[in-house]
Structure 1
Amino acid sequence: MIRVASYNIHKGIGTDRKLDPARICRALAQLDADVVTLQEADKRFGARQSVLPEKLLAEAGYEAAALHIRPGGMGWHGNAVLVRKGHQVRSARPLDLPTLEPRGAVLAEVEIDGQPLRVVGMHLDLSGLWRRRQVRCVIAHLDRCTEAMPTVLMGDLNQWSERGCLSEFTGHRHFRLLDTPKSFHSRRPVTRLDRIIASHELQCDGCGTLDDVALRAGSDHLPVWADLKLHNR
């Protein structure tokens, strides 16, 4: 079983308006995922340093997949991939997307207990037209990958309805949307902005979010997780 999760951490600023990276890391520890995609993981201005100190991440049991973009930064336009210690990161790279806003995506290929997994983390545009273009671009990146591999796409899609850019995934022969819980706003979730999409060879054994109410205040989004396994295992 592989647990994957996605979390828009809002640059570490909670619903109480407090900057508290330690609270985010406690939430990550409670999620106990093998792979996590983060959104808004870097500061927006200046040197765009990581919001989460490496020491706190390590204490939570994670390390960031190295993208080698800027010293002290974790992600690409705030998108980052965390893996549980002991898992191997084969490769990681940013994906350029067509965009009006500073948005992007990252792709990592990891190995979890001998099982390869391709992971895409993304934070899509506020414009519906641009979201569709971005999803098509992500899928085109995946179609160009030479090695077939179970694939999970996760992130804050900024899609309020069940249509729009989501139809780009549901209309693709390889992917399906998982039934993740409502995640925004964390104080009173009304919609599923944060989604997990899996390739068809992966079976979902359950989805959820944080149990600890205090940790839910760490961001305006709730994290979402899914437990996955290959159909033939």
Structure 2
Amino acid sequence: MQVMSQSFKHRPRRIASYNIRKARGLDGRRDPGRVLDVLNGLDADVIALQEADRRLGDRPAAVPRDMISRHTDFEVVPLASNDVSLGFHGNAVLVRRGFGVAHHGQITLPGAEPRGAVSVTLDDGLCVIGVHLGLLRRSRRRQLQAIAAQVSASENTVVIGDMNEWAARRGFEALQDDFTLHSPGRSFHAARPIAALDRVALGHGLNLADAGVDESALARRASDHLPIWADV
């Protein structure tokens, strides 16, 4: 595992998302180092993670904080409610060192199962909301409605994550007035991608310069989802 360290390039912000499946790969092994290698390869400025914490007890981090500090150029935004988790309901955000964070917070979401989203606003005003929506469409609709209701400046906002929606447009009605929905590509299942479950929605003040899915051999083993990225 190598440390990625580089100066910021003059380009659009690269926002990425990755459901790391609690660092358990398709071979059944929990390998945080493998996950970090995938993250380093994304060349992102901000990364929203899903399933970053274990499910039971105090929900300890699936990837230790000290490994992130030692082996990446990212810092963990302090979104957790305790000192053992990386995030809130498994949603965590990493920001490249040198980027200032003006505000961060948790968003409790409604639905049939406990879910939450996280919000991080950079010093330049760009707001990134990381999500992992529910398994039921009626829950996902309510969750997106709750997120949309809390977005005060949607033109500067990116909503990104595992949205768990197999349909191309259905289920995203709550975002249609203020956001443009994009699918970077098929991200699930990593072994044979057939569904674009991981999406990004951009406020109308933001433009999409490029987007894609990391289909590298390493990413195909590290989790059951492939990472997505968007240059905005």
Distance 2:80 2:133 in 1: 22
Match among 124, 130, 135 for residue 126 of structure 1: 135
Q: 2:116, 2:132 within 8 Å by CA — same for their partners in 1?
A: yes
- Answering whether residue 33 of structure 2 is matched by residue 27 of structure 1, we say no
- Write the distance in 2 (CA, Å) between the matches of 1:165 and 1:4: 23
Query: Which structure 2 residues correspond to residues 142-221 of structure 1 after superposition, within 5 A?
Result: 142=151, 145=152, 150-169=156-175, 171-172=176-177, 174-221=178-225
d(CA) in 2 for partners of 1:32 and 1:216? Answer: 18
Q: 2:146 aligns with which of 132, 137, 142?
A: 137
Count of residues in correspondence between the two structures? 220
Cα distance in 2, alignment partners of residues 25 and 102 from structure 1: 27
List per-residue Cα deviations over 1:170-209 (Å, max 9, x = no partner): x21x210123111000011001100011111211111112
CA RMSD of aligned residues (A): 1.4
Distance in 1 between the 2:154 and 2:230 partners?
Answer: 21
Which residue number in structure 1 is paired with residue 19 of structure 2? 8
Shift of the 42–201 alpha-carbon distance from structure 1 to 2, 3 Å rule, reads: same
Specify the SS of the correspondent of 2:191: coil
Compute the displacement of 1:73 (Å).
Answer: 0.9
Amino acid across the alignment from 1:131:
R
Q: What whole-Å deviation, never above 9, does each CA across 1:135-157 have from its counterpart, x for those lacking one?
A: 00100011xx3x67611001111
Pick one of 49, 54, 57 that aligns with 1:43: 54
Q: What residue is the counterpart of 2:3 in the other structure?
A: none
Contact 1:124 1:158 in 2 (8 A): yes
Determine the C-alpha separation between the residues in 2 that align with 1:203 and 1:75: 28
> What's the TM-score once normalised by structure 2's chain length?
0.91
Aligned equivalents of 1:203, 1:149: Cα separation in 2: 10
User: d(CA) in 2 for partners of 1:226 and 1:99?
Assistant: 28
The one-letter code matched in structure 1 to 2:113 is: E
Structure-1 separation of matches of 2:109 and 2:96: 27
1:21-100 equivalences in 2 (<5 Å)? 21-58=32-69, 59-100=71-112
Q: 1:227 to 1:148 in 2, by over 3 A?
A: closer
Q: Which runs of 5+ in 1 are unaligned?
A: 229-233
The alpha-carbon deviation at position 164 of structure 1 amounts to 2.8
The unaligned stretches of length 5 or more in structure 2 are: 1-11
Query: C-alpha distance in 2, partners of 1:131/1:43?
Result: 22
Q: What is the CA-CA distance between 1:49 and the residue it aligns to?
A: 1.0
| Match in the other structure for 2:5 | none
Query: 1: CA distance between counterparts of 2:122 and 2:74?
Result: 13
Give the aligned residue type for 1:209: V
| Partner amino acid, structure 2, of 1:176 | T
Q: Per the alignment, in what secondary structure is the counterpart of residue 146 of structure 2?
A: helix
1:162 shift after superposition: 1.2
